[in-house]
Amino acid sequence: MTKERVVVTGIGTVSSVGTGRQEFWNGIVEGRSGVKRVTTARVVEKMQSACKIAAEIVDFDPSKYLEPKQVRRTDRFIQFAVAAAQLAVDDAKLDMKQEDPTRVGVVVGSAAGGFETIENQYRVLMERGPDRCSPFTVPMLIVNMAAGWVSILHNAKGPNSCTVTACATSANSIGDAYMMIQRGDADVMFAGGSEAPITALCMAGFSSARTLSTRNAEPEKASRPFDKDRDGFVMGEGGAILILESLPHAQKRGAKILAELVGYGMTGDAWDIVQPCADGNGAARAMQAALKQAGMKPEDVQYINAHGTSTPLGDRAETTAIKTVFGEHATNHKVAVSSSKSMTGHLLGAAGALEAAVCIMAINDSILPPTINLDNPDPECDLDYVAKVARKGVNIDVALSNSFGFGGHNACLLFKKFKS
C-alpha cells in the first residue's frame, strides 16, 4: 500500500517567547529569553527556599479564544491548547466549514494535565467540603480534555487521541498523527501538546528531585544547555499545535506548505524512571529510526533541535547519542545543533511540538536558531551548538527534532524542505 505524503500547513504557538508563529519565531531568532521570576502568588508563597523562576506567560488572555463560561470550565493547559489550535487553523487558512469533519482528527497531549485544578479543588475540598468542589473538576484536570476541547470547537470528528509520554508527549502526538494520515485514516490532523505546570506542587516535586535550576538571581541566564555551569532545567508553559495534511489534500485546497514530515522514530530506554542512559542508546536508536523511515543518511541532515534541557546528565547523554548516529558529520561540525529551551524553558509535554515548529521555521527562513547562555561549553559537550546568536543565510533542507521523556520515552521527528 502506498503511504500518503504528509505536510505541515499551519503552526500555532503559545509561549513566553511569543504567541503566534511569527512572533514566536522572531523571539527565537533574536535569542529572547522568556524566563523570569515567577509571579503566580501561590507558587511564590510555597517556593521560598527553592526554584523561584520559570518561563511563565504573564499576558495570556483565554477570553480571546473561549467564551467566559468556557474559560471557567477549563484548566490553563486546556486554554493553551485551544489557543494554539486556533492560531494553527488561522495560520493554515483552514476553513473547517469546507472540510469533511469525519476526515479531520486530533492528537493533542500533555504530560501533567490540570495541576492547577488539582491544587485548587483539593484546597476547596479540605477547607470547604466536597459539596463545594466544582462539578467540572474532573473534565478540567484529565489530560485528554485538551484534545477533547480542540475536537469540539473545530468539529473534528475523525481520529481523536491523547498521547502521554512525559517530555516526549507532543513529539509522539505529531508522529502518531503523521502515521494516521499516512495510512489513510484522516486528511487533516491537529497535532501537538500543551502544558501549564507552573504550580506549587509541580514545581516543588521537580525541585525536590533537584532537577530545576536555582539561579534565581539571574532568571534569563538560568537555562543554559551544554554549558558547564548548568544546574538544571527551567520550567516553561504554553502550547504548540501543527496542522498536518496529506499532500493531495493540501494541494487541492491550495495551501501553503511549510515543510514535509518524512520520518518518525520512537524507542524506550528500559533503563531508569528519570535518568537517561549515559551512552544515549535509546535516543540514538530513535534518531536512527527516523532517518531509516525517511530513507535518509545522517549526512543529509543540516540541523538538529536538541532536547537540550540544561541538566548535567541529559545534555551529555544527548551529545553522545548524536555522535553515535552522526559520527564525523557531527564531530566535524557539519551538522548544527541548538536548544531552544535556553529561551523557552522546558514545556514538558508541549516541548516537542514547540521545537518541531522551530525546525520548520529554520527550514523556511534558512536560519539556525541559537543556544543562548552558552558561555563556557562543557568539554564533554563539544558539538556545534550555535552558541549565543542565530546564524542566517544557511541552507537547511532537513532538520531533526529530538524529544526524550521521564520513563525512557524517546521520540524524533524529521522534517524536510518541501519539493513537489
Give CA torsion, residues 60, 63, 64, 65, to 10 deg: 100
Residue 399 phi, psi (nearest 5) = -135, 140
Active site residue 51: no
Is there a catalytic annotation at residue 346? yes
C-alpha cell of residue 417: 524542505
**8 Å CB contact between 399 and 359:** yes
Burial class (CB in 10 A: 0-12, 13-18, 19+), 117: buried
- Grid cell at residue 138: 474532573
From 51, 162, 167, 202, the catalytic residue? 167
Distance from the Cα of residue 156 to its chain's centroid: 22
Catalytic residue among 154, 307, 329, 409: 307
One of 154, 329, 346, 409 is an active-site residue; which one?
Answer: 346
E strand residue ranges, 80-186: 104-109, 160-161
Local structure of residue 144 (DSSP, 8 states): T
The SS3 call for residue 261 is: strand
Task: Return phi, psi of residue 327, to 5°.
Answer: 50, -130
* 33-70 burial: b if 16+ Cβ within 10 Å, else e: bbbbebebeebeebbeeebbbbbbbeebebeebbeeeb
Count Cβ atoms within 10 A of the Cβ of residue 278 and give its class: 0-12 exposed, 13-18 middle, 19 or more buried.
exposed
Buried/exposed code over 371-410 (b: 16+ C-beta within 10 A; e: otherwise): bbbbeeebeebebbbbbeebbeeeebebbbbbbbbbbbbb
Q: Which residues are catalytic?
A: 167, 307, 346
